[in-house]
Amino acid sequence: MRVHNRSMLAIAQNDHHALPILDSRTARPNVSPTIIPSKKRMPTMTIQTGDKLPDATFVKVTENGPEQVNTADYFKGRKVALFSVPGAFTPTCSAKHLPGFVDKADELKAKGVDEIVCTAVNDAFVMGAWGKSASAGDTVTMLADGNGDFAEAVGLTMDGKAFGMGKRGQRFSMIVNDGVVEQLNVEAPGEFKVSSADHMLEQL
């Protein structure tokens, strides 16, 4: 029996455990709840292949507490596979993006990658907890871009206010060699293809 779209949405709003999240336009289950509409993306990308990474500061959790990491020092003299996700513990990021780099770490390093870095606009403690839950260990370094300064510096922010997420970084990946971007892969809204570990392996 066909149910009116408005009725379906009302049911979903009243009982979020009864139905999956619904798309407001089609009333169909939204299997990718972290998708950000394209109009909410900020078309301000400034970083390009061949550019030097801008000066920015990340934070990572260490045994001695939070530690600041400067891009100029951290990326100097080595090849780094960096990928950015919209948020720690979010569905696609937790099910596919981070685990993909954990699983493919040995293959990436066999092709000359010195370090694998995951970043998101979350605080360092959240990033540390997420890395632990994903068994990232020393395989993937979790760098927090807590204020979104790095995402803003490279022009790859997005507006996640519709999802209660505020300003976030887009989903993308980079191969950075001695501080210079050799490969840049920015996902289209709602997709997970070019920023994956598998795609990066093909580029090396």
| Residue 118 a catalytic site member | no
Marked catalytic residue, from 27, 56, 61, 93: 93
In three-state secondary structure terms, 41 is strand
**DSSP category for residue 15:** -
Q: Which amino acid is at 15?
A: D
Neighbours of 131 (CB within 10 A): 22
Residue whose structure tokens are 């289950």: 29
Torsion of CA 126, 118, 89, 190, to 10 degrees: 140
Measured between alpha carbons, how far is 100 from 120 in angstroms, rounded to an integer?
16
CB 53 within 8 A of CB 71: yes
Phi-psi region of 31 (alpha: psi -120 to 50; beta: other; left: phi over 0): alpha
Q: Which residues are tagged catalytic? A: 93
